[in-house]
């Protein structure tokens, strides 16, 4: 089980195990905001609701210079697993400007791509193929990109993640 940790300002900060969440609550560093009453945690002195969302009592400053590292999984997530050329389901990524022509591994040069379009495009640019990009590749932004584990959010977390989107 996982627990969403909110900063004192209610922005998502991290996803931790429920054991770590209980330790934060017992040490009075966090307060339970939402709990899973169906699956309590049993101890030698009783039972407690399993925390689903906790909020820290003190504000933790997040450095503003944090950037999201480029990854295959991140590009697919950013593009919602849709091909940037045809719109079908994507399972690979493609360099808009091919690496052989100086294209870099950057958020602005990578796009989700289906296997068919990736094989057809090969070592060419979209303009050489007379193709249009369905979206402009950009670096992802928002708090939810800086927090690991948010991509598989639990239903209890929706109301806490919505302002961050």
Check: CB of residue 133 under 8 Å from CB of residue 84: yes
The closest of 69, 122, 125, 118 to 96, measured between CA atoms, is 125
Q: Rounded to whole angstroms, what are the CA distances from 49 to 33, 54, 136?
A: 11, 12, 45
Contacts of 153 (CB under 8 A, 6+ apart): 4, 161
Structure letter (DSSP) for residue 89: B
The closest of 9, 57, 7, 15 to 156, measured between CA atoms, is 15
Give the separation between CA 41 and CA 33, rounded to whole angstroms. 16
HSE-CB at 152 with a 13 A cutoff on CA atoms is: 8
Domain ranges of the chain: 2-64+142-164, 72-121
Check: CB of residue 146 under 8 Å from CB of residue 66: yes
Which residue in the block uniquely carries the two structure tokens 């969440």? 21
pTM of the model: 0.63
One digit per residue, the tens of pLDDT, for the chain of length 165 reads: 789 999 998 888 888 988 899 899 989 999 999 988 787 888 788 887 889 999 999 998 876 666 778 999 889 989 999 999 999 999 999 999 999 999 999 999 999 999 999 999 999 999 999 999 999 999 987 666 666 666 667 777 777 776 554
């Amino acid at each position: 089980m996982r627990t969403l940790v909110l900063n004192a300002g209610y922005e998502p900060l991290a996803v931790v195990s429920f054991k770590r969440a209980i330790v934060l609550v017992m040490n009075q560093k966090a307060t339970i905001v939402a709990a899973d009453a169906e699956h309590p945690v049993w101890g030698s002195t009783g039972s407690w609701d399993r925390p689903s969302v906790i909020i820290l009592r003190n504000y933790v400053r997040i450095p503003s210079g944090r950037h999201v590292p480029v990854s295959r999984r991140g590009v697919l997530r950013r593009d919602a697993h849709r091909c940037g050329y045809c719109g079908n389901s994507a399972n690979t990524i493609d360099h808009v400007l091919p690496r052989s022509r100086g294209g870099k591994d950057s958020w602005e040069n990578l796009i989700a791509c289906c296997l068919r379009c990736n094989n057809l495009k090969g070592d060419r640019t979209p303009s050489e193929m007379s193709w249009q990009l369905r979206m402009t590749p950009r670096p992802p932004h928002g708090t939810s990109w800086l927090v690991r584990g948010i991509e598989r959010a639990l239903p209890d977390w929706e109301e806490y993640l919505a302002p961050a989107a």
